[in-house]
Amino acid sequence: MYRVAVIGDKESIYGFAALGLDVVYPENTLQAQEAFRKLTQSNYAVIYITEELAEVLDEEIEKFSYKSTPAIIRIPGVKGNTGKGMMNVKKSVEKAVGSDIVFNN
């Protein structure tokens, strides 16, 4: 059975544990890289990652952009929204349907 994980700073993601999701709070870049690697090699269908941490792990995340699992979803943290999570949704929709139906400007 697939699981769902959230990785990021404690202040941003601790509430997800109450929903039954697995949460990981790396304290530095090295711990973040190792934790992300372990999550992607485990039985996770979805991994939510704070946008701030995703910036640090961008190369590792890119390796999963063409795989069906795990889905790596960027979420805003307590420090705010960078907009990169929404841009990834936009790219995914464009790839799936062939045009921009989300931000049709």
Give the tens place of pLDDT for each residue, 61-87: 988 888 888 999 888 888 766 666 667
**pTM > 0.85: yes or no:** no
pLDDT single digits (tens) 8-42: 999 999 999 999 999 999 999 999 999 999 999 99
Rounded to an integer, what distance in angstroms lies between the CA atom of residue 34 and that of residue 81? 25
Q: 56: pLDDT confidence band, cut at 50, 70 and 90? A: very high
Whole-angstrom Cα distance, residue 33 to residue 11? 19
Q: What per-residue confidence (pLDDT) applies to 1?
A: 85
Closest C-alpha to 48, from 18, 80, 67, 24? 24
Burial class (CB in 10 A: 0-12, 13-18, 19+), 72: buried
Q: Is the pLDDT of residue 103 over 70?
A: no
Question: For domain 3-97, which CATH number applies: 3.40.50.300, 3.30.470.10, 3.40.50.10580, 3.40.630.10?
Answer: 3.40.50.10580
- pLDDT value at position 65? 80
